[in-house]
A and B are shown apart, each in its own frame.
Chain A
Amino acid sequence: MAYKGHNINPQKFNKSQIKIIIAIMPLILFMGLPIVFIINHAFKPMEELFAYPPKFFVSKPTLDNFDKLFKASRMAGIPMSRYVFNSILVITVVVVASLVLSTMAGFALSKLRFKGKNLFININQAALMFVAVAVMIPRYLTINFLGITNTYLAHILPWLATPVALFLIKQFIDQVPDSLIEAAYIDGAGDFKVYRKIIIPLIKPAIATAAILIFQQVWVDLSTSNYYVNDEGLKTLAFYMNTLANANTNVAGQGMAAAASLIMFIPNLIMFILLQNSIMNTMAHSGLK
């Protein structure tokens, strides 16, 4: 039988797909099992955490681990609500501000004409390779020099320029037809009005994608709490969860650690599920030339 091609994005299930599923199953299991493990471990009662031989799945789920987690924070000087507040404040400001910054820059780089535009585009593309851990020391010195050590600004400012976010947003704005924008200019709109009334509504998928990428980075980040903030009361939830999990490495603490990991995982998961269509839509334009 001649090969027909045309296998991409099939509408229906057919038998030939079973081969594919079987072939990738080992990798799917490898990727998925640790998550299944956290979920199970987080709900295990004490005797199951101690069980020998160890059991992967929970048989009598309980909320004990979560309960212990909250109690542990009450014993420490700083209540957990403080860390939650810090994280929510930091992440809200970072996501909103960096989206404003990257959409503005993305609009200019994509649709406005001015000298040196290509240079700015190239600088940002080169910065896709930027690895923040490689320059943690100079960054630390910069933050010291600015005098924002031990403030919320130390959590916020380093994240605002995210090259990947600008890159994806700019690529997406490139797809907005010029004719739409020109029509608005002819009607007398200025650059800022075009940005607000035309660009922003049309690039919502890219904004959603950038939002989730930034959220993921900042939500689990430990570096700002580790290096730039000494004041316990100003540190983030990720840092607190990590300290708690690392401080309780005995068997009883493991359940708490799993509960902590689950708490950190759930917000990301919900955002991803809600925004998955936007993400795939944006990623289609992610090509780098």
Chain B
Amino acid sequence: MRKKSSVGKRDNNKNGYLFLAPYYLLFFIFIFIPVVMAIGLSFTNFNSIEFPSFTGFLNYLNLITKDEIFMQHVLPNTVTYALIVGPGGYILSFLLAWALAQLPKRIRTIFALILYSPTMTGGVAMTVLWKIMFSGDQTGYINSWLMSLGVINEPIIWLVNTKYLLPIVIIIGLWSSIGGIGFLAILAGILNSDETLYEAAAIDGVKNRFQEMIYITIPSMKPQMLFAAVMSIVGAFQAGLISTQLTTNPTPGYAAQLIVNHIEDYGFIRYEMGYAAAVSVVLLGIIYIFSGISKKLFSED
């Protein structure tokens, strides 16, 4: 019999596995195994030298009951940061994409390029520049501007003052995540939406741009909205490394200590890897929950 492997004709094409093998092998080693190991290590006491010893739920228990820094600083900071940079940044990037879609191509391209540029700088390399902007003496740009506007009389030591540290990290987080890949997905989604829908809606009594956005644009591109939401959640949590780059780990007074910094602190500074793994699992759990909520919001049915 002639061997015929066709899209529609052969039901169990073994070549499929051959095509998948290289990608999924590396996926398995560098994504799947580390996640499983994180879960496994989270139930142990592990200092990276001796073999891990099983401790059951002790790490999680300590995290909830004994880790004051986690409960008083890290968790509230992370929630505040994630709520503003996640949904806040997401809404901003949707509104921007929606506004840009209503402009002619040339202006739109220039604006999109500007909005996307923070993604191209790489948050970490930029931190030095943020340090210059927020420099604590009168030669700092922000201080100098605020003083010349008369908002403040004395320079503020931005990056040491525990009152300002988290807001600064949030602003930088927003800056580096608004115009990311999610924004491009939304913009492309709006630009590709079916024009006849809009014409029909105008006949059906949609009165202005906002009604159009709520009743047509968003429902017609839920899949892109969901993709962008997942990207912005992941981006929000990943950008958390900014705080320690701006200051030190731990951040002054733990004022801007986020969950990723807590992991780094325990894992690579104190070498309490079992404990750090438990914190990682909590982080992955938080991301999973946020993504689950997004899926509920944007599911097709």
Give bound CA distance, A77 to B186, whole Å: 47
A288, B230: Cβ atoms under 8 Å? yes
When distances are taken between beta carbons in the complex, the residues of chain B under 8 Å from A213 are 181
One of B38, B116, B223, B241 near A287 (C-beta < 8 A): B223
A81 to chain B, nearest CB (A): 20
Is B293's beta carbon under 8 Å from chain A?
A: no
Contact of A112 among B7, B24, B184 (CB under 8 A): B7
CB of A205 to closest CB in B, whole Å: 11
Q: Is B77 an interface residue (CB 8 A)?
A: no
Does residue B291 face the partner (Cβ distance < 8 Å to A)?
yes
Residue numbers in B under 8 Å from A272 (CB-CB) = 113, 116, 120
Q: Judge whether A129 is part of the interface by a CB distance below 8 angstroms.
A: yes
B125 interface neighbour in A114, A161, A245, Cβ under 8 Å = A245
Interface window among B56-64, B68-76, B161-169, B279-287: B279-287
* Given contact pairs A54-B144, A133-B238, A135-B280, A220 touches B124 in the complex (Cβ within 8 A): yes
* A7 interface hit (Cβ, 8 Å): yes
Does A128 belong to the interface (CB within 8 Å)? Answer: yes
- Chain B residues contacting A46 (CB-CB under 8 Å) are none
- 0/1 interface trace, chain A 249-264, chain B, CB 8 Å (1 if under): 1010010011011001
Determine whether the beta carbon of A5 is less than 8 Å from that of B212: yes
B212 in contact with A7 (CB, 8 Å) = yes
In the complex, the answer to whether A191 meets B121 with C-beta atoms within 8 Å is: no
How far is the CB of B111 from the nearest CB of chain A, in Å? 6
Size band of the B side of the interface? 35 or more
Q: Which residue of A lies closest to B292 (CB)?
A: A129
A230 CB, min distance to chain B CBs, angstroms: 13
**Cβ of B139 < 8 Å from any Cβ of A?**
yes
Tell me which of A114, A160, A249 contacts B14 (CB under 8 A): A114
Within the complex, which residue of A27, A284, A287 is in contact with B92, where a contact is CB–CB below 8 Å? A27
Does A24 lie within 8 Å of B193, measured CB to CB? no
Does B99 lie within 8 Å of A24, measured CB to CB? yes
Distance from A9 Cβ to chain B, minimum over Cβ atoms (Å): 5
Are A136 and B267 in touch, CB under 8 angstroms?
Answer: yes
Collect the chain B residues with CB atoms within 8 Å of residue A133's CB.
237-238, 240-241, 260, 263-264
Q: Is the CB of A283 within 8 A of B117?
A: no
- B 128-160 to A, binary, CB cutoff 8 A, 1 in contact else 0: 111111000011110010001000000000000
With CB as the reference atom, state the residue of chain B lying closest to A281: B188
Question: Are A286 and B8 in contact, with the CB atoms below 8 A?
Answer: no
Contacting A157 at CB < 8 Å: which of B7, B30, B192?
A: B30
Is the beta-carbon distance between A134 and B129 smaller than 8 angstroms? no
Q: Per a CB cutoff under 8 Å, which of A139, A192, A283 touches B184?
A: A283
Asked whether A234 is an interface residue with its Cβ less than 8 Å from the other chain, the reply is: no
Is residue A102 within 8 Å, beta carbon to beta carbon, of the partner chain? yes
CB of B131 within 8 A of CB of A216, answer no
Interfacial chain B residues near A238, Cβ < 8 Å = 122, 125
Judge whether B30 and A137 touch: CB under 8 Å. no
A27 to B118, CA, bound (A): 13
Among A3, A108, A280, which residue has its beta carbon within 8 angstroms of that of B20?
A108
B81 smallest CB distance to A (angstroms): 14
Q: Within the assembled complex, what's the spacing in Å between the Cα atoms of A192 and B207?
A: 53
- Does the CB pair B15–A191 fall under 8 Å? yes
What is the minimal beta-carbon distance from B118 to any residue of chain A, in angstroms? 6
Partner of A178, one of B7, B207, B208, B227: B7
Select A120's contact among B20, B148, B224, beta carbons within 8 Å.
B20
Contacts of A27 in B (CB 8 A): 92, 96, 115, 178
B79 at the interface (CB under 8 A from A): no
| In the assembled complex, A274 has its CB within 8 A of some CB on chain B | no
27 A-B residue contacts at CB 8 Å? Answer: A5-B199, A21-B103, A23-B99, A27-B96, A53-B148, A54-B144, A100-B22, A105-B23, A108-B20, A114-B13, A127-B27, A128-B227, A128-B234, A129-B234, A133-B238, A133-B240, A135-B35, A136-B268, A137-B263, A138-B277, A141-B37, A157-B26, A160-B30, A164-B231, A185-B6, A185-B7, A272-B120
Extra A-B contacts (9), CB below 8 Å, given A128-B230, A141-B37, A245-B125: A5-B206, A13-B104, A27-B178, A30-B175, A104-B19, A107-B19, A137-B273, A138-B34, A276-B112
Q: Lowest 5 CB-CB distances: which A-B pairs, in order? A: A287-B223, A220-B122, A5-B202, A114-B16, A283-B188
Binding site for B on A (CB under 8 A): 2-13, 17, 20-21, 23-24, 27-28, 30-32, 34-35, 37-38, 41, 52-54, 56, 100-102, 104-105, 107-109, 111-115, 117, 120, 123-124, 127-139, 141-142, 146, 157-158, 160-161, 163-164, 166, 178, 181-182, 185-186, 190-192, 195, 213, 216, 219-222, 227, 238, 241-242, 245-246, 249, 251, 254, 257-258, 260-261, 264-265, 268-269, 272-273, 276, 279-284, 286-289
* Residues in chain B within 8 A of chain A (CB atoms): 4-17, 19-20, 22-24, 26-27, 29-35, 37-38, 41, 48, 92, 95-96, 99-105, 107, 109, 111-122, 124-126, 128-133, 138-141, 144, 148, 175, 178-179, 181, 184-185, 187-193, 195, 198-199, 201-202, 206-209, 212, 217, 221-224, 226-227, 230-231, 233-234, 237-238, 240-241, 260, 263-264, 267-268, 273, 276-277, 280, 283-284, 287-288, 291, 300
